[in-house]
Amino acid sequence: MRDATASREWQPDASTLATWNLLGLGLAIVGGIAFMALYAATHGGEASVSFSGGEALRALLVTLVLIAALMVLHEWVHGLAMRSFGARPSYGIGVAGRVVPYAYCTAPGHLFDKRQFLTVTLAPGVMLTAICMAGIMLPFGGWLVLPAAVHLGGCIGDVWVSAKVARMPGDMRFEDTITGVRFHPSGAGMSHV
């Protein structure tokens, strides 16, 4: 029998990571179509891509730089949200399943209430998607279509964790860890909120 006052930790297993990859790819494709449609609607109804020679390499490099910048900004926004609730975030890079690299922002030892934790997990996806959508409407916004779609697909882990947390009792506390979430029942003796 599990102790109701004991904390427990959740980490995505290999099956969950595989599911995230599939759902993330689907979300990126849907996002790419939506962002391309937004670009077309705000730039005279045309949305096509064509490169030749060195332009393709230059386009690939610009796209990779924009994707990397969005990854950094994503973690920074997590950190801003954590700071707004009194946490001291730390940042790093890891490898999931010894294959997939990821960046992270965490605040070990800090407990968030449900509303705070949901804000922390969802803030980057909401904020950066809105910023990218505004950027896509600018004259050179086409450069953001693919990076915004990749970023949106990468938000699947945050959405998954948010759904898990949303189903938990309202009096629980949540601790972000590098690889998952630690769930603390109310009265577990540890409170930094």
Domain range list for the chain: 14-43+52-184
> Given CA atoms 144, 176, 121, 192 in this order, what sign does their dihedral have?
negative
* Dihedral angle, C-alpha 9, 12, 16, 22, nearest 10 °: 140
Find all residues with CB under 8 Å of 143, minimum gap 6, and list them: 62, 63, 66
Q: Please indicate whether residue 56 or residue 148 has the higher confidence score (pLDDT).
A: 148
- For 19, list phi and psi in degrees, rounded to 5: -65, -45
DSSP string, 61-105: HHHHHHHHHHHHHHHHHHHHHHHHTT---EEEEEEETTTEEEEEE
Predicted TM-score of the model (pTM):
0.87
pLDDT digits (tens, 9 = 90+) for 95-112: 876 777 788 999 999 999
pLDDT digits (tens, 9 = 90+) for 128-162: 999 999 999 999 899 999 999 999 999 999 999 99
